[in-house]
């Protein structure tokens, strides 16, 4: 059976005149319809680079795709022209980011931005490649009455598009638990709190009904009470629309909450991939094990945390062989010499560790 | 109550908002941000008090005001039996030797152009009359205490990872041999594998040097691991104070319950079921009348909208500011 999204042997590096950083090293990952895959890793593990590669928003240069393919419905995204890719963004593959404030356009109201998303879905003609200045289609000019009407205090007639979509816009904001949608619709992003802004981003994703949603640390900037609500919304998106979600996070607890499968990344490599209960109950890679042990769960008077000694490696000069070997308590003579492959060791559980391959 | 190293009584810190011209013309008063609004707490020697709350609850302002880095609007701060709020600047400066702070972001709290040894020695230099030999020795001791290798002393901050930088910041806080340290989100900018190292380091240092901590964080699991007691802050006020176990296992305030029930656990078999608190932290300028949590509280009744509950002792050593705390026992 063909997977909805399949990443094969993807290698990406960031290159400058003086240095080169291997951000992704031969990553293989696939996801099915209506599946939530969490990509877990620490800073520098390459998880955000992976997300940006899929939606083809890597800044090139400095990024260079060395090798690999990203198949979406069987077509290689990396070979597509920008125009074809733009057709896929939004309804095919959509992305939400950690900082909702910086991913909403500051000069348009919430209504403008949701109306655009609905319009894109309805017409599926690209209005812009990326960024606010490449808009070309004059028919899709967004309404600007939100701001003006508030300055002069008179409600101007809404733009045609906003009028047509206003019902759906209110509905979708209610869906994401915004209490007073009419008021929020007329606001500019800077007037929203972080939690509301992230909900608007998710509302955008909801109306676009993407086949794949990439969520890059969607809750890291939010408070826990808001985080719980946003995670619930992402689950709804999967349950109701059947979107498959790639959840990029540094927080294992967030992954445990909503993921079906978990991919653990370390220094640009995928080191372990398994179903969510497997990975939390029987982690096979020493790094995953260490990561789980470094999460505080106990009280002060109980036993001390284990943690992982050392630091995340400097990717300008990564360790040889298995990149985790300098921090690994099980490392043996083979580890610094050879790189372990990601191999299935048991029921759908893949791990890149010589220790487990020998068993 | 001299066994307490630090005592804070009814501390208030308001920030005045800029007065818009139009409002002024209409004769309206300038609005205040009620960042800290009547907080009382105490910290014993060798104790860690964990201060938890969401962003905007005023926890960082409280930490800074306790150290007199912000001038309190009103209230009393008593440190080692001396009332800081009555002292002049020079006396406070001298007392600062005993009170230090570690900030959240080790990328911005270290001078990028100074070498590690100078960063760590900076507090010593602020209190001059110390010879360079003594200073060097102190730097070596402080950096050794945080497990930094001696060869790192002449390097610059950018050569270090986040965890190492936070060690440098901790060494700087330790060099004057303080008795009390405010830890303001000390591990929030760090990766989880490194967070564990820093938390253990802080606990070891506390044991060795008899330190007291005020640990400010939004991460309840960190507080659980670090603190003897917890204070929960909401919209400028403490809503619950008590022993860590009591507060986390038998919360007496609906906000604390909501906070605890929304913490995701790293266990796929224990997924969050209901989404507790709806809505957002209130505006700190126009606070709700009565209990500040009432617009989000599932148990709110008439009295909650009229009368502000005070923080009172419900069970021995366990305080809560809710009209109905007895009900939640």
Q: Domain for residue B203, yes or no?
A: no
Domain assignment present for residue B309? The answer is yes
ipTM score assigned to the predicted complex: 0.82
Contact residues, chain B, for A296 at CB < 8 Å: 195-196, 199, 221-222, 224-226
d(CA A279, CA A299): 24
Q: Contact at 8 Å (CB) between B46 and B210? A: yes
Cα gap B116→B136, rounded to integer Å = 12
Q: How far apart are CA B275 and CA A37, in angstroms?
A: 22
- Torsion A128-A46-A320-B148 (CA) sign: positive
Judge whether A114 and A141 are in contact, CB under 8 Å. no
A193-to-A143, A176, A258, B24 alpha-carbon distances in Å:
23, 14, 24, 27
What span, in angstroms and rounded, lies between the C-alpha atoms of A282 and A17? 44
Residue of chain A whose Cα is closest to the Cα of B53: A223
Residue A280 and residue B264: Cβ atoms within 8 Å? Answer: no
Nearest 5°: the CA angle B233, B238, B239 is 90
Under the banding of pLDDT at 50, 70 and 90, the label for residue A163 is low
- In Å, how far is B86's CA from the nearest CA of chain A? 36
pLDDT for residue A157 is more than 60: no
**Which segments within A192-296 are labelled E, that is strand?**
212-216, 244-249, 261-266, 269-275
> B16-45 burial string, b = 16+ CB within 10 Å, else e?
eeeeeeeeeeeeeeebebbbbbbbbbbbbe
A306 CB within 8 Å of a chain B CB: yes
Place of tokens 């759908």: A348
Query: Does residue A131 have a pLDDT over 50?
Result: no
Query: Under CATH, to which class is A5-100+210-265 assigned?
Result: alpha beta
Judging contacts by C-beta atoms under 8 Å, the chain B residues touching residue A259 are 268
Give just the sign of the alpha carbon dihedral B192, B198, B201, B202. Answer: negative
Question: What distance separates the 2 farthest-apart alpha carbons in chain A?
Answer: 76
Nearest-angstrom CA–CA distance, B195 and B204: 14
| pLDDT over 70 (residue A74) | yes
Residue identified by tokens 């804070």 is B8
- Which residues in chain A are closer than 8 Å to B269, comparing Cβ atoms? 277
- Residues A323-358: pLDDT tens digits? 999 999 999 999 999 999 999 998 889 999 998 887
User: What is B132-144 written as a DSSP string?
Assistant: HHHHHHHHHHHHH
Residues of A in contact with B276 (CB under 8 A): 225, 228
Domain tally, chain B: 1
Is the pLDDT score of A133 beyond 50? no
CA distance A341 to A271: 9
Q: Is the Cβ pair A224, B227 closer than 8 Å?
A: no
pLDDT of amino acid B304: 93
Is B323 within a domain?
Answer: yes
Residues A40-67 have a mean pLDDT of 88
CA angle (A103, A105, A107) in 5-degree steps = 155
Contact yes or no for A257 and B277 at CB 8 A: no
B83 domain-assigned: no
Structure tokens at A214: 């990439």
Contact between A300 and B55 using a beta-carbon 8 Å cutoff? no
Closest CB from A177, A294, A299 relative to B245: A299
Name the residue in chain A with its Cα closest to that of B197. Answer: A307
Question: Cα–chain-centroid distance for residue B143?
Answer: 24
pLDDT at site A162? 62
Where b means 16+ CB within 10 Å and e means fewer, A41-75 reads bbebbbbbbbbbbbbbebeeeebebbebebbbeee
CB atoms within 10 A of CB A259: 25
List the single residue in B191, B224, B280 with the smallest CB-CB distance to A42. B191
Long-range contacts of A278-285 (CB under 8 A, 24+ apart): A278/A347, A278/A348, A278/A349, A279/A349, A280/A252, A280/A256, A280/B266, A280/B267, A280/B268, A282/A349, A284/A345, A284/A349, A284/A351, A284/A353, A284/A356, A285/A324, A285/A351, A285/A352, A285/A353, A285/A356
With CB atoms and an 8 Å threshold, state whether B276 touches A193: no
Of A179, A295, A299, the CB nearest to B192: A295
Q: Are strands B318-320 and B237-243 parallel, antiparallel or unpaired?
A: antiparallel
| pLDDT tens, position by position, A176-233 | 778 778 888 888 998 888 778 888 988 888 888 889 999 998 888 777 877 888 888 8
**Residue A270: per-residue pLDDT:** 95
B interface test, pick of A40, A307, A323, A326 with most B CB neighbours within 10 Å: A307
- The CA R_g of chain A, rounded to the nearest whole Å, is 22
Q: Which of A223, A294, A300 sits opposite B54 (nearest CB)?
A: A223
> CB B265 to CB A256 under 8 A?
yes
Neighbours of A180 (CB within 10 A): 9
Nearest to B80 by CA among B178, B175, B10: B178
- CB-based contact B280 A312, cutoff 8 Å: no
Interface touch A256/B271, C-beta < 8 Å: yes
Q: Where are the domains of chain A?
A: 5-100+210-265, 101-206, 286-357
CA atoms within 13 A on the CB side of B12: 11
Digit-by-digit pLDDT tens for chain B (329 residues) are 447 899 999 999 998 877 766 666 777 677 788 899 999 999 999 999 999 988 888 899 999 999 999 999 999 999 998 999 999 988 998 888 899 999 988 888 899 999 999 999 999 888 767 777 888 888 999 999 998 888 889 999 988 888 889 999 999 999 999 999 999 999 888 888 889 989 999 999 999 999 999 999 989 999 999 999 999 999 999 999 999 999 999 999 999 998 888 888 888 888 877 655 566 677 777 888 999 999 888 888 999 999 999 999 999 999 999 999 988 87
Q: What is the pLDDT of residue B253?
A: 95
Strands A244-249 and A212-216: parallel
Q: pLDDT by residue (tens digit) across A21-41?
A: 889 999 999 998 899 999 999
Q: How far apart are CA B93 and CA B98, in angstroms?
A: 10
Residues with Cβ within 8 Å of residue B128, at least 6 apart in sequence = none
**pLDDT the model gives residue B193:** 84
d(CA B216, CA B231): 10
Asked if B220's CB is within 8 angstroms of A253's CB, the reply is no
CA distance A4 to A317: 35
Q: What is the pLDDT of residue B276?
A: 53
Distances, alpha carbon A86 to alpha carbons A74, A95, A109, A214, B4, in Å: 17, 13, 23, 15, 64
How many angstroms from the chain centroid is the CA of residue A197?
17
CA distance B162 to B167: 9
Nearest to B168 by CA among B223, B107, B213: B107
Say what the alpha-carbon torsion angle B163, B169, B174, B176 is, to the nearest 10 degrees: 170
A99: left (phi over 0), alpha (psi -120 to 50) or beta: beta
**3-state per-residue secondary structure call for A239-260:** HHHCCEEEEEECCHHHHHHHCC
Is B311 domain-assigned? yes
Q: For residue B301, what are the contacts with CB-CB under 8 A and spacing of at least 6? A: B323, B324
Which run of H or of E encompasses A67? strand A63-72
- % residues pLDDT > 90 (chain A): 35
Tell me if B266 is assigned to some domain.
yes
Residue (of A205, A153, A146, A155) closest to A175 by Cα position: A205
Between A and B, how many residue pairs show a Cβ–Cβ distance under 8 A?
139
Tell whether B197 is covered by a domain.
no
Whole-angstrom Cα distance, residue A44 to residue A58? 15
What is the extent of the structural domain holding B310?
A: 255-329
CA distance A317 to A168: 52
| Window 13-42 of A, Cβ < 8 Å to B | 42
**Is B133 domain-assigned?**
no
Q: Which residues of B touch A308 (CB under 8 A)?
A: 193-194, 196
pLDDT at site A59: 84
The span from the CA of A119 to the CA of A121, in Å, is 5
Provide φ and ψ at A175, rounded to 5°.
-60, -40
Partners of residue A193 in chain B, C-beta under 8 Å: 280-281
């Amino acid at each position: 059976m063909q997977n909805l999204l399949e990443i094969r042997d993807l290698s990406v590096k960031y290159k400058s005149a003086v240095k080169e950083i291997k951000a992704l090293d031969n990553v293989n990952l696939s996801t099915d319809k209506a599946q939530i895959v969490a990509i877990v890793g620490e800073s520098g593990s390459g998880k955000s680079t992976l997300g940006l590669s899929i939606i083809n928003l890597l800044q090139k240069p400095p990024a260079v795709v060395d090798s690999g393919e990203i198949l979406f419905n069987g077509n290689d995204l990396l070979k597509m022209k920008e125009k074809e890719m733009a057709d896929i963004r939004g309804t095919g593959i959509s992305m939400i980011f950690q900082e909702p404030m910086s991913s909403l356009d500051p000069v348009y109201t919430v209504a403008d931005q949701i109306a655009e998303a609905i319009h894109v879905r309805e017409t599926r003609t690209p209005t812009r490649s990326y960024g606010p200045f490449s808009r070309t289609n004059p028919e899709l000019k967004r309404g600007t009455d939100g701001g003006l009407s508030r300055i002069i205090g008179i409600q101007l007639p809404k733009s045609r598009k906003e009028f047509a979509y206003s019902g759906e816009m209110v509905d979708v904001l209610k869906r994401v638990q915004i209490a007073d949608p009419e008021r929020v619709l007329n606001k500019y992003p800077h007037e929203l709190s972080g939690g509301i802004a992230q909900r608007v981003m998710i509302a955008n994703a909801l109306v676009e009904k993407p086949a794949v949603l990439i969520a890059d640390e969607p809750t890291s900037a939010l408070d826990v009470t808001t985080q719980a609500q946003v995670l619930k919304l992402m689950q709804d998106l999967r349950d109701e629309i059947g979107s498959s979600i790639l959840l990029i996070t540094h927080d294992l607890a967030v992954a445990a909450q909503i993921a079906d499968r978990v991919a653990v990344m370390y220094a640009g490599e995928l080191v372990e991939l398994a179903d969510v209960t497997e990975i939390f109950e029987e982690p096979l890679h020493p790094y995953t094990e260490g990561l789980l042990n470094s999460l505080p769960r106990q009280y002060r008077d109980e036993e001390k945390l284990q943690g992982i000694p050392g630091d995340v490696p400097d990717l300008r000069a990564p360790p040889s062989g298995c990149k985790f070997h300098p921090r690994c308590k099980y490392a043996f003579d083979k580890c610094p010499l050879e790189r372990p492959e990601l191999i299935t060791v048991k029921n759908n559980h893949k791990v890149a560790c010589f220790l487990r391959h020998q068993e | 109550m001299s066994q307490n190293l630090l005592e804070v009584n009814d501390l208030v810190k308001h920030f005045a908002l800029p007065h818009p011209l139009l409002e002024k013309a209409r004769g309206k008063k300038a609005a205040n941000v009620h960042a800290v609004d009547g907080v009382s707490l105490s910290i014993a020697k060798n104790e860690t008090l964990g201060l938890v709350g969401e962003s905007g609850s005023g926890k960082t302002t409280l930490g800074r005001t306790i150290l007199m880095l912000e001038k309190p609007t009103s209230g009393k701060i008593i440190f080692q039996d001396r009332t800081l709020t009555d002292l002049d600047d020079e006396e406070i400066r001298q007392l600062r030797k005993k009170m230090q702070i570690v900030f959240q972001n080790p990328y911005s709290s270290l001078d990028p152009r100074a070498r590690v040894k100078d960063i760590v020695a900076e507090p010593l230099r602020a209190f001059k009359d110390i010879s360079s030999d003594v200073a060097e020795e102190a730097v070596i001791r402080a950096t050794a205490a945080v497990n930094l290798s001696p060869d790192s002393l002449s390097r610059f901050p950018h050569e270090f990872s986040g965890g190492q930088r936070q060690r440098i910041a901790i060494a700087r806080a330790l060099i004057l041999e303080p008795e009390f340290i405010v830890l303001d989100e000390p591990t929030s900018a760090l990766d989880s594998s490194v967070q564990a190292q820093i938390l253990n380091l802080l606990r070891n240092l506390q044991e060795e040097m008899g330190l007291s901590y005020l640990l400010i964080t939004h991460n309840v699991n960190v507080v659980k691991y670090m603190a003897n007691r917890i204070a929960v802050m909401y919209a400028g006020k403490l809503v619950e104070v008590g022993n860590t176990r009591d507060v986390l296992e038998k919360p007496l305030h609906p906000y604390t319950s909501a906070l605890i029930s929304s913490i995701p656990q790293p266990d796929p078999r224990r997924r969050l079921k209901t989404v507790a608190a709806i809505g957002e932290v209130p505006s700190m300028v126009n606070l709700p009348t009565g209990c500040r949590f009432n617009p989000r509280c599932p148990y709110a009744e008439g009295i909650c909208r009229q009368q502000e509950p005070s923080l009172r002792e419900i069970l021995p050593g366990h305080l809560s500011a809710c009209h109905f705390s007895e009900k939640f026992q």
